A and B are shown apart, each in its own frame.
Chain A
Amino acid sequence: AQTVTQSQPEMSVQEAETVTLSCTYDTSESDYYLFWYKQPPSRQMILVIRQEAYKQQNATENRFSVNFQKAAKSFSLKISDSQLGDAAMYFCAYRGDSNYQLIWGAGTKLIIKP
Protein backbone atom coordinates (compact mmCIF):
# COMPACT_ATOMS: atom_id res chain seq x y z
CA ALA A 1 0.00 0.00 0.00
CA GLN A 2 1.12 3.51 -0.73
CA THR A 3 2.05 5.80 2.16
CA VAL A 4 2.96 9.46 2.46
CA THR A 5 5.11 10.80 5.30
CA GLN A 6 5.60 14.38 6.38
CA SER A 7 8.16 14.36 9.17
CA GLN A 8 7.88 18.01 10.15
CA PRO A 9 4.74 18.67 12.22
CA GLU A 10 5.56 22.39 12.37
CA MET A 11 7.93 24.78 10.64
CA SER A 12 8.47 28.50 11.10
CA VAL A 13 10.12 31.04 8.83
CA GLN A 14 10.77 34.74 8.87
CA GLU A 15 8.71 36.77 6.43
CA ALA A 16 10.52 37.16 3.06
CA GLU A 17 12.78 34.17 3.77
CA THR A 18 12.74 30.75 2.09
CA VAL A 19 11.45 27.55 3.67
CA THR A 20 11.41 23.93 2.52
CA LEU A 21 8.79 21.41 3.58
CA SER A 22 9.65 17.72 3.33
CA CYS A 23 7.60 14.82 2.03
CA THR A 24 8.52 11.22 1.34
CA TYR A 25 6.32 8.51 -0.07
CA ASP A 26 6.36 4.81 -0.68
CA THR A 27 4.95 3.14 -3.77
CA SER A 28 5.65 0.32 -6.16
CA GLU A 29 3.94 2.10 -9.05
CA SER A 30 5.97 3.75 -11.79
CA ASP A 31 3.35 6.28 -12.88
CA TYR A 32 1.75 8.55 -10.33
CA TYR A 33 1.07 12.15 -9.37
CA LEU A 34 2.17 14.17 -6.38
CA PHE A 35 0.52 17.25 -4.98
CA TRP A 36 0.99 19.91 -2.37
CA TYR A 37 -2.20 21.38 -0.94
CA LYS A 38 -2.54 24.31 1.45
CA GLN A 39 -5.26 24.53 4.11
CA PRO A 40 -5.45 27.91 5.88
CA PRO A 41 -7.16 27.94 9.30
CA SER A 42 -10.90 27.30 8.91
CA ARG A 43 -10.62 27.55 5.16
CA GLN A 44 -10.72 25.11 2.33
CA MET A 45 -8.00 22.97 0.81
CA ILE A 46 -6.26 24.75 -2.06
CA LEU A 47 -3.96 23.19 -4.63
CA VAL A 48 -0.47 24.69 -4.51
CA ILE A 49 1.42 22.60 -7.06
CA ARG A 50 1.36 19.22 -8.78
CA GLN A 51 4.03 16.99 -10.28
CA GLU A 52 3.68 14.12 -12.72
CA ALA A 53 6.15 11.34 -11.95
CA TYR A 54 7.05 10.83 -15.61
CA LYS A 55 8.26 14.43 -15.86
CA GLN A 56 11.86 14.95 -14.87
CA GLN A 57 11.52 18.71 -14.68
CA ASN A 58 10.51 20.03 -11.28
CA ALA A 59 7.20 21.89 -11.20
CA THR A 60 7.17 25.61 -10.40
CA GLU A 61 4.29 27.98 -9.63
CA ASN A 62 5.46 31.52 -8.94
CA ARG A 63 7.10 31.46 -5.46
CA PHE A 64 6.43 27.74 -5.03
CA SER A 65 8.67 25.04 -6.45
CA VAL A 66 9.29 21.37 -5.78
CA ASN A 67 12.36 19.17 -5.61
CA PHE A 68 11.16 15.83 -6.97
CA GLN A 69 13.60 12.96 -6.47
CA LYS A 70 11.91 9.89 -7.92
CA ALA A 71 14.59 7.37 -6.97
CA ALA A 72 14.64 8.62 -3.39
CA LYS A 73 10.82 8.94 -3.35
CA SER A 74 11.12 12.47 -2.05
CA PHE A 75 8.94 15.46 -2.94
CA SER A 76 9.81 18.65 -1.06
CA LEU A 77 8.15 22.04 -1.41
CA LYS A 78 10.17 25.25 -1.42
CA ILE A 79 8.44 28.52 -0.70
CA SER A 80 10.48 31.59 -1.62
CA ASP A 81 9.91 35.13 -0.31
CA SER A 82 7.50 33.84 2.36
CA GLN A 83 4.44 36.01 2.98
CA LEU A 84 2.08 36.22 5.94
CA GLY A 85 -0.66 34.76 3.74
CA ASP A 86 1.39 31.57 3.34
CA ALA A 87 0.65 30.59 6.95
CA ALA A 88 -1.37 27.36 6.78
CA MET A 89 -1.26 23.59 7.06
CA TYR A 90 0.52 22.10 4.06
CA PHE A 91 -0.37 18.59 2.96
CA CYS A 92 1.54 16.37 0.59
CA ALA A 93 -0.65 13.93 -1.36
CA TYR A 94 -0.10 11.00 -3.73
CA ARG A 95 -2.33 9.62 -6.46
CA GLY A 96 -1.55 6.50 -8.41
CA ASP A 97 -2.12 6.40 -12.13
CA SER A 98 -4.74 3.66 -11.86
CA ASN A 99 -6.39 4.81 -8.65
CA TYR A 100 -8.14 8.12 -8.21
CA GLN A 101 -8.10 8.48 -4.45
CA LEU A 102 -5.57 10.81 -2.87
CA ILE A 103 -3.34 9.44 -0.12
CA TRP A 104 -2.28 12.15 2.30
CA GLY A 105 0.49 12.95 4.70
CA ALA A 106 -0.27 14.20 8.20
CA GLY A 107 0.55 17.79 7.29
CA THR A 108 3.07 20.46 8.27
CA LYS A 109 1.93 23.62 10.03
CA LEU A 110 3.78 26.60 8.56
CA ILE A 111 4.16 29.68 10.75
CA ILE A 112 5.31 32.95 9.22
CA LYS A 113 7.04 35.34 11.60
CA PRO A 114 6.60 39.04 10.72
Chain B
Amino acid sequence: DTGVSQDPRHKITKRGQNVTFRCDPISEHNRLYWYRQTLGQGPEFLTYFQNEAQLEKSRLLSDRFSAERPKGSFSTLEIQRTEQGDSAMYLCASSLKGDTQYFGPGTRLTVL
Protein backbone atom coordinates (compact mmCIF):
# COMPACT_ATOMS: atom_id res chain seq x y z
CA ASP B 1 0.00 0.00 0.00
CA THR B 2 1.77 3.10 -1.26
CA GLY B 3 -0.81 5.66 -0.18
CA VAL B 4 -2.52 8.34 -2.27
CA SER B 5 -0.21 10.09 -4.70
CA GLN B 6 -0.71 13.33 -6.60
CA ASP B 7 1.13 14.84 -9.51
CA PRO B 8 2.46 17.46 -9.89
CA ARG B 9 3.17 18.66 -6.38
CA HIS B 10 3.49 22.25 -7.51
CA LYS B 11 2.20 24.02 -10.59
CA ILE B 12 2.75 27.64 -11.58
CA THR B 13 0.75 28.88 -14.54
CA LYS B 14 -0.30 32.10 -16.15
CA ARG B 15 -3.87 33.32 -16.02
CA GLY B 16 -5.91 31.91 -18.87
CA GLN B 17 -3.91 28.70 -19.24
CA ASN B 18 -5.33 25.22 -18.72
CA VAL B 19 -3.92 22.89 -16.07
CA THR B 20 -4.48 19.23 -15.26
CA PHE B 21 -3.75 17.42 -12.03
CA ARG B 22 -3.59 13.69 -11.46
CA CYS B 23 -4.46 11.61 -8.41
CA ASP B 24 -3.69 7.93 -7.88
CA PRO B 25 -5.74 6.50 -5.01
CA ILE B 26 -4.87 3.67 -2.69
CA SER B 27 -5.35 0.50 -4.68
CA GLU B 28 -8.76 -1.10 -4.25
CA HIS B 29 -10.27 2.10 -2.85
CA ASN B 30 -13.46 2.58 -4.83
CA ARG B 31 -14.18 6.15 -3.73
CA LEU B 32 -12.09 9.16 -4.71
CA TYR B 33 -12.57 12.76 -3.58
CA TRP B 34 -11.25 16.17 -4.61
CA TYR B 35 -11.04 19.09 -2.19
CA ARG B 36 -9.64 22.61 -2.48
CA GLN B 37 -7.82 24.31 0.38
CA THR B 38 -6.85 27.97 0.46
CA LEU B 39 -4.24 29.31 2.85
CA GLY B 40 -5.35 29.29 6.47
CA GLN B 41 -8.65 27.56 5.75
CA GLY B 42 -10.06 24.09 6.01
CA PRO B 43 -10.56 22.11 2.80
CA GLU B 44 -13.72 22.55 0.72
CA PHE B 45 -15.33 19.66 -1.08
CA LEU B 46 -15.30 19.76 -4.87
CA THR B 47 -16.43 16.38 -6.16
CA TYR B 48 -16.33 12.65 -5.59
CA PHE B 49 -16.36 9.43 -7.57
CA GLN B 50 -17.55 5.95 -6.79
CA ASN B 51 -15.57 3.78 -9.18
CA GLU B 52 -15.80 5.64 -12.50
CA ALA B 53 -19.07 7.44 -11.75
CA GLN B 54 -18.97 11.07 -10.62
CA LEU B 55 -21.71 11.09 -8.00
CA GLU B 56 -21.57 14.55 -6.50
CA LYS B 57 -20.29 17.97 -7.49
CA SER B 58 -20.07 21.07 -5.34
CA ARG B 59 -21.40 24.43 -6.45
CA LEU B 60 -17.74 25.49 -6.16
CA LEU B 61 -17.02 23.41 -9.26
CA SER B 62 -17.66 25.94 -12.00
CA ASP B 63 -17.92 25.12 -15.68
CA ARG B 64 -14.18 25.65 -15.98
CA PHE B 65 -13.52 22.64 -13.77
CA SER B 66 -13.89 19.07 -14.93
CA ALA B 67 -12.92 15.81 -13.28
CA GLU B 68 -12.73 12.30 -14.62
CA ARG B 69 -11.93 8.87 -13.30
CA PRO B 70 -11.67 6.55 -16.28
CA LYS B 71 -11.86 2.85 -15.43
CA GLY B 72 -12.28 3.69 -11.76
CA SER B 73 -8.57 3.98 -11.10
CA PHE B 74 -6.67 7.29 -11.22
CA SER B 75 -8.49 10.61 -11.53
CA THR B 76 -7.72 13.88 -13.26
CA LEU B 77 -8.91 17.36 -12.39
CA GLU B 78 -8.69 19.93 -15.16
CA ILE B 79 -9.08 23.67 -14.77
CA GLN B 80 -9.61 25.62 -17.98
CA ARG B 81 -8.86 29.32 -18.40
CA THR B 82 -7.32 29.60 -14.95
CA GLU B 83 -7.98 32.67 -12.83
CA GLN B 84 -5.98 34.07 -9.92
CA GLY B 85 -8.76 32.96 -7.59
CA ASP B 86 -8.01 29.36 -8.53
CA SER B 87 -4.71 29.55 -6.65
CA ALA B 88 -5.00 26.97 -3.87
CA MET B 89 -3.93 23.52 -2.73
CA TYR B 90 -5.90 20.79 -4.48
CA LEU B 91 -6.24 17.72 -2.30
CA CYS B 92 -7.21 14.23 -3.36
CA ALA B 93 -8.43 11.54 -0.98
CA SER B 94 -9.62 7.98 -1.35
CA SER B 95 -11.63 5.58 0.75
CA LEU B 96 -12.93 2.06 0.70
CA LYS B 97 -16.68 2.43 0.39
CA GLY B 98 -17.73 5.06 2.93
CA ASP B 99 -14.89 4.52 5.33
CA THR B 100 -12.18 6.93 6.43
CA GLN B 101 -10.70 9.16 3.74
CA TYR B 102 -6.92 9.08 3.25
CA PHE B 103 -5.29 12.07 1.68
CA GLY B 104 -2.50 12.64 -0.79
CA PRO B 105 0.15 15.35 -0.46
CA GLY B 106 -1.80 17.80 -2.60
CA THR B 107 -1.01 19.89 -5.68
CA ARG B 108 -0.26 23.54 -4.97
CA LEU B 109 -1.47 25.73 -7.84
CA THR B 110 -0.25 29.29 -8.29
CA VAL B 111 -1.88 31.37 -10.99
CA LEU B 112 0.09 34.48 -11.95
Residues of chain A touching chain B, judged by Cβ–Cβ distance below 8 Å, are: 4, 35, 37, 43-47, 50, 91, 93, 99-107
Contact = CB atoms under 8 A, between A and B. Distances in A.
Contacts of B106: 44
B48 A101 contact: yes
Contact of A101 (B41, B42, B45, B91): B45
A45 B91 contact: yes
B100 A50 contact: yes
18 contacts: A4-B42, A44-B106, A45-B43, A45-B91, A45-B93, A91-B42, A99-B56, A100-B31, A100-B55, A100-B95, A100-B98, A101-B58, A102-B35, A102-B43, A102-B101, A105-B42, A107-B41, A107-B42
B104 interface: yes
Contacts, number: 49
Given A100-B48, A101-B48, A106 B41 contact: yes
Nearest to B91: A45
A44 B41 CA distance: 14
Given A45-B43, A102-B43, 15 more contacts: A4-B42, A37-B103, A44-B105, A47-B100, A47-B102, A99-B56, A100-B31, A100-B98, A101-B33, A102-B33, A102-B35, A102-B101, A103-B45, A104-B44, A105-B42
Contacts of B42: 4, 91, 93, 104-107
Contacts of B104: 44
A4 B45 CA distance: 14
Question: Which one of A43, A91, A93, A104 has the highest number of Cβ atoms from chain B below 10 Å of its Cβ?
Answer: A104
A44 B4 CA distance: 10
Given A45-B103, A47-B100, A100 B44 contact: no
A100 B103 contact: no
Contacts of B40: 106-107
Given A101-B56, A107-B42, A44 B48 contact: no
